[in-house]
Amino acid sequence: MQILSTYLFANRFCKLLVMTLALGVAGPAMAAEGADLGLVGQFFQYLGDQPFLFIFIALALGYPIGKISFAGISLGSTAGTLIAGIVMTNIAFLGFDIKYSIPGLVSTIALMMFMYAIGLKVGPQFFSGLARNGVGLMVIAVITVVINWVICFGGASLMGLDPGYAAGMISGSFTVTAVIGVAQSAIESGAWTPPPGMDIEQVGANLAAGYAISYILSSLGIILTIKYLPRMFGHDPVEEGKKAEEEYGGGEGSEALPGSEDSFVMGYMPFDLRAYRLENDEFIGRSVKDLYGEFPDSPVLRVQRGEDVIDIHDNPTLQRDDIITARADVEKHIKEGSRIGVEVDDPRARNIDMEVAEIVVGKSEIAGQTLQQIRDQRLGFGLYLKSLFRAGAEIPALPETVIETGDVLRLIAPPWSLEMAAEKLGSKVVTATATTEVMYMAIAMSIGFMVGQLSVKVAGIPFALGTSAGIIMAGIIVSTLRTRNPNFGGPVSNGARDLLQDLGLNMFIAVLAANVGSKIINSFAGGAALKIAVIGTLAALVPTIIAWLYGYYMLKMNPVVLAGACAGGRNSTPAMRGIQDESKSSTPAIGYPVPYCVSTILVLIGGYIAMLLS
């Protein structure tokens, strides 16, 4: 209640401040037709004439606003961009009677880029999760989405809220901004029409209002709820994190995400390359592959015989006085290196290129195997697994970790060894210099857009998938095909995908703020803000608690892994990171990806249906 009172006071204060500023700059004659708007007014008029400038100023302001932290929690760039856009729009409207209108094509292109990126992100894991085990994790996602939808849509109906609020609250309480996009597409496509006396701009303002309040409250509430659920049920999260690490294996989860700036930085490695003159009869006469089978942690990466360097691919048989280069942990070199023979200082023997690269698991037959089983298949000489990622989150990489299609392996090895591993995994090597194909994106988005527009009548009522859903499915299919078949271009660059997702979403939000910002104040009339706060908070927390109870009592899951699954079902990466910090373990990420992928699709469908039924 105190938050709402503060918000309403700040809203009135800002309105008074804007009008005072406008009058002070432009003078009392500003209201007269043709009056000089003054320097500030002319600037805001210029923003109205140049939508490009408005959008990118909103982005430039929104990102630092989103980074402002309160008690360790920040709003994020999307909410920051929405706030920046709404403030700019209301200064123009309240202070200078300037109303912005940015062409819908800009919004459509930005939204479709974002939807396609979402499809690329969840594609391989979505199909893999549906096809194999993890039914319990998928149920957690279904419980979370369905109960959230019932609370938001039912609450809006019971409290008499106008069309747009329900979808906005689903979007905000689930912290999935894309729901606003699918709701907007339902309006723009004509699948839903506003009732008499209400225009489309006001519905858009209701969407934004429902989103803004519920997003802020749910962002804070879900992090705290997920973080402290294990303690509320009598469990020490640190101890449970240790138990999960013993069961699944886990680390600190400190690796840079795939495609990010530091993802291909080698950093400190526990292994070293050293060269030895072969003198021990135990190894003479044995092949390189034979030794690799016996000593997989200490592979031979080069054999030098006199002045000749012998190709490892030929699986040479070792002879006395060969200079062999081995890769092993420093401890093993110190303790067991002399077992081979005398260590030599030969620059050519140790001059082996080691490269950091990422390989996406493409073969469906690999899915379901543990890392130990995959390792036993001898993918390549000298491979060092630096980290493992699923659906954009780092997961523990120990022997019993089960691999899914679309998982990203970050490996360190010689280039030829990486190529060998990529071929066996049904993928291609992705390095810092990898490029992405625009052609696939253009074709997929075109087909997805057209499929989304196809309409089928059921009992005389037209139903359509919707362009947003059509493009998401196109992204899922392209990502899956490219991941599983290198001939289609190989896995999509994570850096390119993240840029597409981030830029597309925030440009869409900036356009939304420009077009509906002047009407958003009307959306808080009649106690709507309090109603949104109550419904949004319940919708954010109640489904998560019920999903937790299901996982705790029915699935008997480890509490910190379950907390990660509930965070995934709620699409909240900050909540997952919160329980990781609380448990001092990366194991919550084990439960996160499957619910995340499933709920991402279901909540978008739910938002679209909520708009159609409004």
3-state secondary structure 314-376: HCCECCCCCEEEEEEEHHHHHHHHHHCEEECCCHHHHCCCCEEEEEECCCHHHCCCEHHHHHH
Query: Sorting pLDDT into bands at 50, 70 and 90, what band is 333?
Result: confident
| Type of residue at 605 | I
Query: Sorting pLDDT into bands at 50, 70 and 90, what band is 471?
Result: confident
Whole-number pLDDT of residue 22: 41
Mean pLDDT of the chain: 78
Please say if the pLDDT value at position 112 is more than 70: yes
* Under 8 Å between Cβ of 395 and 403: no
CA distance 376 to 358: 20
* Under 8 Å between Cβ of 397 and 388: yes
Q: What is the DSSP letter of 395?
A: E
For 13, residues 6+ apart whose C-beta sits below 8 A from its C-beta are none
- Whether domain 271-350 has CATH 3.30.70.1450: yes
| Type of residue at 47 | L
Whole-number pLDDT of residue 20: 40
For 302, residues 6+ apart whose C-beta sits below 8 A from its C-beta are 275, 309, 312, 324, 325, 349, 352
Whole-number pLDDT of residue 78: 77
CA distance 444 to 308: 51
Which residues, listed in sequence order, are joined to residue 308 by a DSSP beta bridge?
Answer: 305
- CB count within 10 Å of CB 344 equals 15
Burial pattern 526-564, b for ≥16 Cβ within 10 A else e, equals eebbbbbbbbbbbbbbbbbebbbebbbeebebbbbbbbb
Take residue 415 and report the two structure tokens written for it: 């280039």
CA 14 to chain centre: 34
Take residue 72 and report the two structure tokens written for it: 């360790």
* Pick from 520-534, 549-563, 593-607: least confident: 520-534
Q: Which helix (H) or strand (E) holds 439?
A: helix 438-453
Please say if the pLDDT value at position 524 is more than 70: no
* Under 8 Å between Cβ of 406 and 366: no
Q: Which of 163, 235, 217 is nearest to 614 (CA)?
A: 163
Q: Which of 105, 91, 104, 103 is nearest to 41 (CA)?
A: 91
Q: Up-side HSE of residue 525: CA atoms within 13 Å toward CB?
A: 8
CA distance 456 to 451: 11
CA distance 240 to 458: 51
* Under 8 Å between Cβ of 386 and 234: no
pLDDT 10s digits, 208-217: 888 878 877 7
The predicted model scores a pTM of 0.60
Instruction: Give residue limits of the domains in the chain.
Output: 1-100, 271-350
| Type of residue at 197 | G
Angle of CA points 153, 159, 161, to nearest 5°: 70
Take residue 101 and report the two structure tokens written for it: 């209108």
CA distance 398 to 361: 16
Take residue 182 and report the two structure tokens written for it: 């699918």
* Under 8 Å between Cβ of 418 and 379: no
Which residues, listed in sequence order, are joined to residue 73 by a DSSP beta bridge?
Answer: 70
Torsion 545-549-555-560 (CA) sign = positive
pLDDT 10s digits, 241-289: 888 877 654 444 456 555 444 556 666 677 788 889 999 888 899 988 8
Q: Which helix (H) or strand (E) holds 275?
A: strand 271-278
| 196, 503, 572 from 536: Cα distances, Å | 27, 26, 15
CA distance 245 to 242: 5
Angle of CA points 200, 201, 204, to nearest 5°: 90
CA distance 560 to 542: 19
Region 524-541 average pLDDT: 85
Whole-number pLDDT of residue 252: 45
pLDDT 10s digits, 296-315: 778 888 898 888 888 777 78
Take residue 243 and report the two structure tokens written for it: 């138990």
Which residues, listed in sequence order, are joined to residue 318 by a DSSP beta bridge?
Answer: none
CA distance 247 to 495: 32
CA distance 115 to 176: 12
pLDDT 10s digits, 374-431: 887 777 777 888 888 876 667 777 777 888 887 888 888 888 888 888 888 887 787 6
Burial pattern 388-410, b for ≥16 Cβ within 10 A else e, equals bbbbbbbbbbbeebbbbbbbbbb
Take residue 56 and report the two structure tokens written for it: 């990118």
* Pick from 52-56, 168-172, 291-295, 544-548: least confident: 291-295
